Structure 1
Amino acid sequence: MKWLYIIAGIALYVKMLVIPNPAPDLSISIVESVVQDSGVPNAVSGIIFRNRLYDTIFEVVVFTIAILGANFLLANERPSCTIYQFTDQPSIVLARLGATIAALVGIELAIRGHLSPGGGFAAGVAGGTAIGLIAITSSSEWMQGIYKRWHAATWEKVSVLVFIVLAVITLAGVELPHGELGALVSGGVLPLLNILVAIKVALGSWAVILVFIRYRGLL
């Protein structure tokens, strides 16, 4: 069996040397084709939320499973008695200023990610960063209380379900009107998918932050 693998590897190597790759058709711009098909200037968003939407669906599902796994693996541990946080006033002010900037950047990326560099995942990371900076400067009980009061866990699950439903509808060939290229309301369903991913990643990050603070005492 080992010799069979060796022969197959040699044959594949010879094939790559002997048979040339087909020359690409340079008369067609792939970026222009993606922009035209998706209706958004940001070709990366067009690829993620349209051309490779299958991949994006499973990326969201994998992120959800990772959050569930963190909760499951740490559920049987004893909560940490010591919470490590910033205590000096200058660090607290700087952290909360950074949280404000990160939150504003996250909102901008979520709303305009289909028009400029950015998108749902980047917006969610920015939102999670803002929540993390607030968490290391505030009471863990206060953070947990806000998380429960605003039903963040429920909103996270709803965003995943709505994203999957919209993705399935899009994959079935049903699309909203693209609108005017470059306008804020354009690209059909792509801006909605951007916002849903941003909500999912930000709220999921919040859940993981609370778990690690409770059972590890630090992020």
Structure 2
Amino acid sequence: MKRLFFSIISLILFFYVLYLEIPKEINHNPYYDISVLSENGSLNLVSAIVLDYRFYDTFFEILVFTITIIGISYFMKFFKPNKNEFSPPSVVLRVFAPVMFPITLLLGFYNTLTGHLYPGGGFNSGIILGTGVLSLALVKKYEDIEDIFEKSRIEEIKVLIPLFIIIYAVIGKMFFGEYFINFFPKMQPGSIFSGGSAVMLNSFIAFEVFGGSWTILYQFIKHRGLL
């Protein structure tokens, strides 16, 4: 009964504070008068929001994703690697996977570089790149996958991505007075670098999502049949 009472009180206080934070005079809020093309340069409005105006949200999404991947890697260390024999893939996979791999890589890179101009961006680019690796992993032995994974150092590099983003935020605060401010030059709308820092941030996000999906794939292949 006490828990229910405190839960109700907490909800009332939460919504009361939320009500206090709602702007009472929306027409006088300067953020409702922004011009995306002049201030950000991105043709893709969603990209301008997630990589500029609301990048705090995006950063914490990346941080949560990174912590999740670290947790999966740590948790899977308690299991012994799978020693089952490799089952040769079907003819369809052996033919299909090598063809799809370079296509998905090209699509992922293109999606990253043009995410602020057309539908796309870092998150779905990372998934596209991860799908390409998955198609290749279906036709390779675990030993080959492990060798590629260990030599690529992806697991170590992807942990540094949030640090790079924090450095970007600190530079903005030190020289331009605001964290996560898009201080890169805004080129002609429609060009590759028209979104300021959009290409850099999309590349960071794409690599983080790709590295995370690659880590999950590697761990599950290493321990398949044991979960």
The verdict on a shared fold, with TM-score over 0.5 as the criterion, is yes
Can you give the 5+ residue segments of structure 2 that lack an aligned partner in the other structure? 16-23, 173-177
Counterpart CA distance in 1 for 2:212 and 2:44 is: 25
- Per the alignment, do residues 91 and 37 of structure 1 end up closer, same or farther by CA in structure 2, a change over 3 Å counting? same
Aligned 8 A contact 2:182 2:197 in 1: no
Partner of 1:178: 186
- 1:76 maps onto 2:59 in alignment: no
SS of the counterpart of 2:104?
helix
Structure 1 gap segments, 5+ residues each: 13-21
Task: Give the aligned partner of residue 110 of structure 2.
Answer: 108
Paired residue for 1:17? Answer: none
Q: Secondary structure at the match of 2:187?
A: coil
Alpha-carbon distance in 1 for matches of 2:32, 2:141: 50
* Percentage of pairs with the same residue: 31
Mapped contact 2:130–2:213 kept (Cα < 8 A): yes
Q: Report Cα offsets for 1:130-150 as digits up to 9, x if no partner.
A: 111111111221122122223
Q: Deviations over 1:69-117 (max 9, x none)?
A: 1112221112223367661222221123222222211111111111111
- Deviation string for 1:5-40 (max 9, x for gaps)? 59x98xx9xxxxxxxxx8976xx9969733432111
- Quick check: 1:84–1:218 contact (8 Å CA) kept in 2? no
Whole-angstrom CA distance in 2 between matches of 1:35 and 1:217: 52
2:49 maps to amino acid: I
SS at match of 1:148: helix
Counterpart CA distance in 1 for 2:34 and 2:204 is 26
Q: Distance in 1 between matches of 2:97 and 2:89?
A: 11
How many residue pairs were aligned?
207
Distance in 1 between residues matched to 2:81 and 2:206, nearest whole Å: 29
Shift of 1:124: 0.3
Deviates more, 1:76-85 or 1:131-140: 76-85
- What residue number does 1:15 align with? none
Q: Give, in whole Å, the separation in 2 of the partners of 1:117 and 1:62.
A: 24
Bigger drift between 177-186 and 88-97 goes to 88-97
Note if contact 2:41-2:189 (Cα within 8 Å) is conserved in structure 1.
yes
User: Aligned residue for 2:53?
Assistant: 51
1:44 Cα deviation (Å)? 0.7
Does residue 196 of the first structure (1) align with residue 204 of the second (2)?
A: yes
Between stretches 89-98 and 128-137, larger displacement belongs to 89-98
1:205 correspondence with 2:213:
yes
Residue equivalent to 1:16: none
Residue 196 of structure 1: CA displacement?
0.9
TM-score by length of 1: 0.80
Counterpart amino acid of residue 36 in structure 1: S
Q: CA RMSD in A?
A: 3.2
Q: For residues 144-172 of structure 1, what are the alpha-carbon distances to aligned partners after superposition, in whole Å with 9 as ceiling and x for unaligned?
A: 21222232223212333212322444443
Instruction: From the superposition, tell whether residues 174 and 199 of structure 1 become closer, same or farther in structure 2 (CA, over 3 Å).
Output: closer
TM-score by length of 2: 0.78
CA contact (8 A) 2:89 2:138 kept: no
